[in-house]
Amino acid sequence: MYNENIHIVNALAPDADALAGTKTSDVINMKNFGHCEFVVQKGVGTTGTSTITVLACDDATPSTTSAIAFKYRACTSGDTFTALTAATTAGFTTTAGSNQMYRIEVDANDLPDGYPFLQLKLVEVADDPVDAGVLAILTEPRYAQSINATAIV
């Protein structure tokens, strides 16, 4: 059954060395959604790590960004996630290892005035290829419909 209250975006396509250097996800327009959960899925990559931050963006380019605090959960084994953890604007660093997931939570109300867009930023800390990808799961739509308008710009 289709759930019109959820809109999923392939925010950073899966790649064999997806987290090399500094990567940013697509810019997500939060105008019509109340919540965004980024899901970072790591496949093979035993020693590579990245620092994850969330950027509020002033426009779709983005011309200006500002790091914001957020909450996250980590799953470094099986399908059990940690408790919701607060991250500062400095973000957090992933754990070395394969087969992991990270859920990064952002409420639209937490975006600063004049910054209606957001983006996930991943900066490589330990240089080792990591198979990974990022989904953005948008919920709490302003106008739920069977086919939601695009949220990427």
pLDDT tens column, 42-57? 998 889 899 999 999 9
pLDDT computed for residue 1 by the predictor: 47
CATH of 6-141, one of 2.60.40, 2.40.30, 2.60.120, 3.30.450: 2.60.120
- State the CB neighbour count (10 A cutoff) for residue 120: 26
Q: Which two tokens stand for residue 139?
A: 């919920």
Predicted structure pTM score: 0.91
Query: What is the spatial order of strands in the sheet that 6-15 belongs to?
Result: 6-15, 132-141, 33-42, 100-107, 70-75, 85-87
Domain boundaries, the chain: 6-141
Encode pLDDT of 67-124 as tens digits.
999 999 999 988 999 999 999 999 999 999 999 999 999 999 999 999 999 999 999 9
Classify residue 103 as exposed, middle or buried by CB count within 10 Å of its CB (0-12, 13-18, 19+). middle
